[in-house]
Chain A
């Protein structure tokens, strides 16, 4: 076939079409490069979105036994539900192993757009307190880049994606290019004012990739609520209907779905990648596609799995792993600490009808900051996501008409839940399990991660601090949760192919390019040196744009 997409030699092969892969495809194809975008899953269309479907139209109203059967791990994710569970991987087909005493929950989507279809959309910049954390507290190493290197790319991503939020002038959470923020409830205003006055801490409206005004041809949010079921006005950012669409529109990008990449192919003579091998999802045939450069955006653990599965005689421990660092320093945010209560004196009637604000509030990190100084019990810090809204009191006592009234009367709830930095440790890692393969015969991962004493102390402090702040704001019935949830629970996994200037201590250079194989780039969260405590995807996307602009520049200079 003359125009068989598999017979061409592309400039760049991008693997994965999620939050980062969409950006890679967009930037590279807009730079005039011929791109093949390989996606393991099927394509997705707005027809299958279910955000407006009422719960009673679900046969099991959210409790379809099929979910537990085929997705025993994925069902731990709040966003995996009877409406959309087919977007999440089938755990039986996509196994991985963990040591019994070090469980890890790996929540992922294999469909065009990946996890950008269901993500929580919280989008925060990191600051130099994060990039240069090691210089302050002596733990591990700094990032090889600083905030100034990334700021222009944060701007590019934010301007395109559309982030609603408020500027706060808090150096821990740099301001960006914001659309107007969503609105706070009375309870949130009270908490914000009290936190500022009594603790000098910043509570801001969640900065989210949801439009509050028309933006780049997309309509603003109409506040229906359940974004993780899709959005037929594309008001929140997901890659298929933005970056991927733009890439395909250039005419330079060929989107190849249902193509599960198993490994990178190497040309030993030139020490360069020559393309990738993939297995077709339906027929399980092995095929190849050739390119002058390979950009992995399959998400942190998957990209590393591909590299580990690409070992050659020259790279016996995994492609580009001469440092021995590939797979190591796996991180996820630590969650589990927080508090909740009620504001008994606030009025507000809950309703099952919209508007449902599709996000919450965010409390900026206040431990171990330049302003607050060193905190004695742990290093680094945490931020909180939360909300305060009237909600139905299904747990009200009694029966009959009294109970029905009490349910509707509701309570005015308030809660804060922490996301803390997870320290980068060599012994939190993934490797290939020699005995385990997925349904396509591709060797699967063994993931070994545990949170340590620092994370535990952080969650303890986060619980007590949240309770204190709620109490100071006048909340009653305060309860706390402490302890650390299983790693993976924050769904913010990063690391496993860290960037650095020293090829002996890092896998990637500061432009996310392999130290060992110059035409392999890993443009997702694998390159993270530390996790910081901010939700990571905005930073991943900014890093992807920076890495791909750099690659395009190398093409222009004929260096690839």
Chain B
């Protein structure tokens, strides 16, 4: 996808251990000890007024605040697009036992992201939202936001599964760029919405994130020798 990397939160590893090697308090103590221990001594810098050269993250800034601002206004989307995106995102990732895309403010994150993307990518995105409305008009004579929840699901479901081109194709269709415009537009929206959701705090919790920095060492395979051969 031009102007946009394929986005899945980077996660690896199994959460199978319950015993902590170091608990959080011990870690913080270790850190204090460490920073004292590593004072480098008589460092001599020939730079006098160099800018700090720190990223916002390294300065400890929480960048998520912009999204929860009570006076939030879209920076890229117009009102109708914003309303449509909220609805589409909540059909793709609805609230179940856990919150859905709407509660996770996926529209706001995507608006921020789109506002800094190249024009070509912005147009593809707007085109994808417009395509959904066009199809909605063709089938139900009204915009997507006006459809009943049932019809919203009906409309999107037609593009939600990959179609096979060839049993022998090397490419996994699900990640590819299927030729059908419905699939193409839907897939673009779905990928972005899934990214916006699973990288949000609610989405991370959905994936098992609990805010702890450790649960002890990775234990790996604990089966008897030969189990997997």
On A, residues with C-beta under 8 Å from B are 5, 42-43, 45-50, 52-63, 65, 82-86, 111, 182-190, 193-194, 197, 212, 217, 219-226, 232-234, 240-241, 244-245, 248-249, 254-259, 278, 280-283, 287, 346, 348-357, 387, 389-392, 394-401, 403-404, 407-408, 477, 479-480
Contacts and interface: CB of A to CB of B under 8 A. Distances in A.
Interface stretch (B41-49, B71-79, B128-136, B137-145): B41-49
A185 B14 contact: yes
B213 A224 contact: yes
B194 A399 contact: no
B228 A392 contact: no
B44 A257 contact: yes
B94 A400 contact: yes
A254 B44 contact: yes
A50 B56 CA distance: 10
A225 B17 CA distance: 15
A395 B161 CA distance: 11
Contact of A392 (B207, B212, B214, B226): B207
A217 B37 contact: yes
A195 to B, nearest CB: 11
A185 B214 contact: no
B218 A399 contact: no
B217 interface: yes
B218 A282 contact: no
A280 B47 CA distance: 6
6 contacts: A249-B41, A280-B47, A353-B215, A354-B13, A394-B8, A395-B8
A241 B209 CA distance: 30
Interface string B131-169: 000000000000000000000010011001110000000
Given A186-B221, A283-B48, A351-B11, A45 B35 contact: yes
Contacts of B12: 225, 350, 356-357, 387, 389, 391
A258 B47 contact: yes
A287 B228 contact: no
A183 B210 CA distance: 23
B69 interface: no
A256 B172 CA distance: 53
A17 to B, nearest CB: 10
Interface of B: 4-5, 8-15, 17, 21-22, 27, 30-31, 34-35, 37-38, 40-50, 53-59, 62-64, 66, 91-94, 96, 98, 109, 112-113, 116, 153, 156-157, 160-162, 170-172, 174-175, 190, 194-195, 198-201, 203-204, 206-221, 223, 226-229
Nearest to B62: A57
A84 B58 CA distance: 7
A390 B14 contact: yes
Contacts of B194: 394, 407
B34 A50 contact: no
A398 B160 contact: yes
Given A83-B57, A351-B15, 8 more contacts: A55-B199, A193-B226, A197-B229, A281-B47, A282-B50, A394-B198, A400-B153, A403-B93
Closest A-B pairs by Cβ, 9 of them = A183-B220, A59-B63, A258-B47, A190-B228, A351-B15, A48-B58, A351-B208, A352-B209, A352-B207
Nearest to B59: A48
Contact of A60 (B37, B46, B62, B113): B113
B172 A219 contact: no
Contacts of B93: 399-400, 403-404
Given A86-B54, A188-B221, A479-B172, A354 B47 contact: no
Contacts of B223: 186, 189
B214 A224 contact: yes
A193 B94 CA distance: 43
A260 to B, nearest CB: 10
Given A197-B229, A248-B42, A258-B50, A50 B221 contact: no
A355 B15 contact: yes
Contacts of B10: 226
Residue of B9, B48, B66, B157 with most chain A CB atoms under a 10 A cut-off:
B9
A388 to B, nearest CB: 10
B37 A225 contact: no
B92 A399 contact: yes
B14 A353 contact: no
Contacts of A84: 55, 57-58
Contacts of B13: 223, 225, 350-351, 354-357, 389
Given A5-B44, A56-B64, A280-B47, A65 B116 contact: yes
Contact of B40 (A43, A56, A223, A226): A43
Contact of A240 (B4, B40, B49, B62): B40
A225 B207 CA distance: 16
B221 A257 contact: no
B209 A353 contact: yes
A281 B50 contact: yes
A257 B48 CA distance: 11
A392 B53 contact: no
B202 to A, nearest CB: 9
A257 B63 contact: no
A232 B34 contact: yes
A460 B93 CA distance: 40
B46 A256 contact: yes
Contacts of B218: 182-183, 223, 355-357
Contacts of B161: 397-398
Contacts of A225: 12-13
A189 B11 contact: no
Contacts of B175: 395
A54 B94 CA distance: 23
Contacts of A63: 4-5, 113, 116
B208 A193 contact: no
Nearest to A41: B53
A237 to B, nearest CB: 14
A245 B62 CA distance: 31
A174 to B, nearest CB: 25
A43 B39 CA distance: 11
A46 B34 contact: yes
A226 B43 CA distance: 29
Contact of B198 (A219, A244, A407): A407
A61 B153 CA distance: 29
